[in-house]
Structure 1
Amino acid sequence: MIEDNKDQKNRKPAVPYDEDNYTHNIRKDNERKLDRRSFMKMMVGAAGVFAVSTLPWGAIAAKHLAAGDKRTYPKNKITALSDIPVGEAVEFAYPGEHDSALLVRLEEGTFKAYQNACTHLKCPVFWSKEEGELVCPCHHGLFDVHTGKPVAGPPKRPLPEIELAVERGTVYATGVKRYEA
């Protein structure tokens, strides 16, 4: 018995297949269904499909930019002149019911209105009467109330300005000015 154990320890394990190499466990008939070349062809094809799928949106954008902004906006009542004292602000929705905007009465007869989503990360913008600026509290962005342009913080683009009209003691929103770079 001791000799049998000794023989088993000295014996090399047998390879279950005729091949004595490291590929004996790969089935050659089904070796690879997706090799590198096929994978790259598939990826180029997918990139092409994604590129072609964006063409309609690009065409719409190009048409919009080439023809100019001829959108029509509704005329919406914001507030009565008697309801907004000089130096105060009023929030309203324009041009859609989910688009928040801010109207500021700077002086007697002088109003400015902007969409109040910061141009950095769309945080709400608030009127600071004490500082005389529009403030984005998320990243300390500041906007000039007269132009809507950023004066501090990470925002790089001005706030979209709402066009206004004052008729018979009421302030109306009439449109959104086109962004000029």
Structure 2
Amino acid sequence: MDREQRGKNGSIPFSEDNYTHNIEKAGERKLDRRSFMKMMVGAAGVFAVSTLPWGTIAFNELTGIKKKTYDPKKIADAASLNVGDAIEFAYPGEHDSALLVRLGENEYKAYQNACTHLKCPVFWSKEDGELLCPCHHGIFDVHTGKPTAGPPKRPLPEILLKTDSGAVFATGVKRYET
């Protein structure tokens, strides 16, 4: 035997030339490139399958397959609102701001009070007969909610209304249509 292979006491510690390949820990797995790729594809598959429920919820929400129902809410008495006036109210939730405008004797329009550009509050301009977003000079048509000027591209979400016994009620939110 060669002198370099002998240890301090003259014995050969291992019969191999490479001393590191035989060091193993309990439960250690060999991970070569192929095993690594199999593990990554498996992890990606698990991730994809785990996101399916959220994708289904988003799909149903965006396509309107399930119609949302909202509780009716009294906004105001018709006698307390003059033609051309507007009031703010919370609908459908307590933190969702909306705006009701009385356009005629029996004509009311209500929209969610957040600009479709960057969610700035929208205000009613009685003098101009328009809904205004002061942040980026967005203007919306009060009859349709569609933008007429500025950066907004989508109309304001319309609140569905009903008048009953001299009062105006919010009954739902009209879905956005392209």
- Shorter-chain TM-score bucket reads 0.7 to 0.9
Q: Give 1:43 shift.
A: 8.8
Structure 1 residues 64 and 172: CA distance shift in structure 2, 3 A: same
CA deviation vs aligned residue, 1:20-51 (integer Å, no higher than 9, x gap): xxxxxxxxxxxxxxxxx8xx979988876665
Greater helix share, structure number: 1
Q: Does 1:54 align with 2:29?
A: no
Provide the aligned C-alpha RMSD in A.
2.5
Q: Give 1:61 shift.
A: 2.4
What is the aligned partner in structure 2 of residue 90 from structure 1?
87
Task: Report the count of equivalent residues.
Answer: 146
Amino acid across the alignment from 2:88: E
Structure 1 residues 67 and 118: CA distance shift in structure 2, 3 A: closer
Q: Give 1:153 shift.
A: 0.7
Where does the alignment leave 5 or more consecutive residues of structure 2 unmatched?
1-32
Structure 1 residues 104 and 47: CA distance shift in structure 2, 3 A: farther
* Identical columns (%): 73
Amino acid across the alignment from 2:80: D
Q: Does 1:77 align with 2:74?
A: yes
What is the aligned partner in structure 2 of residue 144 from structure 1?
141
The secondary structure found in structure 2 opposite 1:63 is helix
Hey, which bits of structure 1, 4+ residues long, moved more than 6 A? 40-49
Give the alignment's TM-score, normalised by structure 1.
0.71
Amino acid across the alignment from 1:88: D
Give the alignment's TM-score, normalised by structure 2.
0.72
Structure 1 residues 66 and 87: CA distance shift in structure 2, 3 A: closer
Where does the alignment leave 5 or more consecutive residues of structure 1 unmatched?
1-36
